[in-house]
């Protein structure tokens, strides 16, 4: 069994989902591992990773809308407010979603479904440079 690890940096433009499938697939190809598992981990507490539909952008807008209702900003009950009104909600949204994902590999390709893509979900209002560890294990 082989292991390969690479860090990818994604500059976000603010709150929303940004597809990173292409960047992850490039790391898979660079690894030369054809059969195995691709593990992704975002090294932040105010962003997350999700596998979601990538065919209709309305899905991403609706997810953002739903989470905005579920975890509103400017809630007077938050005590962690030093970094702004979007900070504590971003931590909650990250806790409700995922900071890591696993995707099987076959023939050097991510085994995603027809309409699936990998997304970095930025929960902060302003953009940020986000780091994602891509770790690939297999043969």
For position 59, which CATH number holds?
Answer: 2.60.120.460
Residue-level pLDDT at 100:
98
Paired tokens of 49: 């990773």
Range of the domain at 128: 2-138
pLDDT at 74: 85
Contacts of 125 (CB under 8 A, 6+ apart): 14, 15, 84, 86
Residue 95 clears pLDDT 90, i.e. is over it: yes
Checking if the pLDDT of 41 tops 90, the result is yes
Threshold 0.75, pTM exceeds: yes
What is the rounded average pLDDT of the residues 51-59?
96
Task: Please count the structural domains in the chain.
Answer: 1
For 76-88, what is the mean pLDDT? Answer: 92
* Percent of the chain whose predicted confidence (pLDDT) is above 90: 96
Residue 115 confidence class, pLDDT cut points 50, 70, 90: very high
Instruction: Write out the two tokens for 82.
Output: 């030093």
pLDDT at 73: 92
The predicted pLDDT at position 67 comes to 97
> What is the radius of gyration, based on Cα positions, of the chain?
16
Percent of the chain with pLDDT over 70: 100
């Amino acid at each position: 069994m082989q292991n390969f690890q690479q860090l990818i940096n994604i500059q976000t433009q603010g709150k929303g989902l940004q597809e990173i499938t292409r960047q992850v697939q490039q790391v898979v190809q660079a690894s030369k591992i054809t059969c195995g598992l691709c593990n992704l981990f975002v090294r932040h507490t105010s962003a997350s990773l999700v596998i979601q539909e990538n065919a209709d952008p309305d899905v991403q807008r609706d997810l953002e809308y739903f989470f905005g209702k579920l975890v509103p900003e400017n809630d007077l009950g938050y005590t962690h407010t030093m970094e702004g009104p979007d900070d504590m909600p971003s931590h909650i949204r990250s806790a409700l979603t995922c900071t890591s994902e696993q995707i099987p590999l076959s023939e050097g390709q991510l085994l995603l479904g027809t309409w699936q893509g990998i997304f970095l979900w930025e929960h902060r209002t302003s953009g940020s440079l986000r780091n994602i560890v891509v770790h690939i294990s297999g043969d």
